[in-house]
Amino acid sequence: MTIHNLYIFSKNGTLLYYAEWNRLNKSGITKGEEAKLMYGMLFSIKSFVSKISPLDPKEGFLYYKTSKYTLHYLETPSGLKFVLNTDNVTQNARELLQQLYREVYLEYVVKNPLCQLNEPIQSELFKRKVDELFKKSPLFLSRSI
Amino acid sequence: MVIYGVYIVSKSGGLIFNHDHNVPRIENERTFNFPLDIKLNYENKKIVVSFGQKDGINVGHVLTAVNGSPVIGRELENGKDVFELLEQPENFPMSLKFSRARMTTNEKIFLASMFYPLFAIASQLSPEPRCSGIEILEADTFRLHCYQTLTGIKFIVVAEPTQSGIEILLKRVYELYADYALKNPFYSLEMPIRCELFETNLQSLLENVEKSGASNV
């Protein structure tokens, strides 16, 4: 089980935070461009899902899976978007994202008066806590070990 | 165990086949008094609930009938504007019928061509090298399975998240496509599939999978 990378987007599409742990494939474009592409894709998926859904969706899009990785998606009612790429055997990554929101984002960004909301997160403490949370999670098992 | 629909998208992203299998109809009728406790908006030639969901009438539902007479665009059959009717207190109480909007054929073509770039971007943004596009996309109300053949045709099945055996079903649909569409001399590639045999066989295959799972297809 591996966690590849994490994106946090604000409600208007700004990349607030990006972290990567095990990433073999570089997409060949800059991080900024990649974030825009990712946000655009998520935005399209959201509208795609709401149209194709046969019943009234509540949470909407949860995850998608390809042959090599799974993208887990969590959106808060305030429009904050958490995106986590893992390998295909990982389960419950959604809970981990919820935990990230509850225990790290709220505690170290929202409760930090020096952090501007809707702007990229600079806080070192936040970075360290995110790293800690993922490294102690059972989903994190680096392939290099 | 429900399969909602099957879509086939050609190599260039056009919708060449679509079959709605088991799409539930969501309809609600309620008597309203003046003033209305929901907010209606006119968008895309439909009157849509934009705020105030209640009693099964949800945001996004479309107004289909007023006092039993159908709504076309923003007017009734007799040419009266619905919003004007709703503003006059003497018309109340009024019975309004709402339903979840069904996809029109145009919307389906639009969505099929929208899936095409999503599929491609998913493989481009992959953290691992040599990755395929989206194979499973899950939301809380459905799960979409996509199988891309070597020739680039995508078979898409939308089903309930608990429905099992979709991978086998997708390959069986591919088989049916190879047998009844490709071997039909009147079928030209990349064009919409209008083959009766294909449709009847697909129909019975879907019913089989729903009834008894994928083990005996």
Tens-digit pLDDT profile for residues B169-192:
999 999 999 999 888 888 888 899
- pLDDT tens, position by position, A98-123: 999 999 999 999 999 999 888 999 99
**Residues 6+ away with beta carbon under 8 Å from A102:** none
Shortest CB distance from A51 goes to which of B107, B121, B132? Answer: B107
Chain A positions in Cβ-Cβ contact with residue B131 (cut-off 8 Å): 25, 66-69
Q: What percent of chain B has pLDDT over 70?
A: 98
- Residue A76 contacts residue A98 (beta carbons within 8 Å): no
Q: What pLDDT is recorded for position A144?
A: 44
- pLDDT tens, position by position, B137-179: 999 999 999 999 999 999 999 999 988 889 999 999 999 999 9
Of B145, B124, B166, whose CA–CA distance to A68 is shortest? B124
List of E strands, A1-145: 3-9, 15-20, 61-65, 70-75, 81-86
Kindly list the distances between the CA atom of residue B66 and the CA atoms of A30, B84, B114, in Å, as whole numbers in the listed order: 54, 13, 34
Shortest CB distance from A85 goes to which of B107, B127, B138? Answer: B127
Q: What pLDDT is recorded for position A45?
A: 96
Kindly list the distances between the CA atom of residue B74 and the CA atoms of B31, B51, B81, B107, B124, in Å, as whole numbers in the listed order: 19, 18, 6, 20, 43
Q: What pLDDT is recorded for position B102?
A: 85
The more confident residue out of B183 and B215 is B183
Shortest CB distance from B111 goes to which of A22, A24, A52? Answer: A52
Q: Is the pLDDT reported for residue B46 higher than 50?
A: yes
Q: What pLDDT is recorded for position A90?
A: 82
Residue B77 burial by Cβ neighbours in a 10 Å radius (0-12, 13-18, 19+): exposed
Confidence band for B217, pLDDT divided at 50, 70 and 90: low
- ipTM comes to 0.89
Q: What pLDDT is recorded for position B135?
A: 95
Q: Which residue of A has its CA nearest to B60?
A: A56
Parts of chain A with a pLDDT under 50: 144-145
- Residue A109 contacts residue A100 (beta carbons within 8 Å): no
Q: Which residue of A has its CA nearest to B26?
A: A55
Q: Which residue of A has its CA nearest to B56?
A: A56
CA torsion, points B4, A46, A98, A81, in degrees to nearest 10?
Answer: 170
Q: What pLDDT is recorded for position A92?
A: 82
Q: Is the pLDDT reported for residue B215 higher than 70?
A: no
Mutation choice for B interface testing from A45, A52, A56, A84 by most B CBs within 10 A: A52
Please tell me the pTM assigned to this model. 0.90
Q: What pLDDT is recorded for position B216?
A: 62
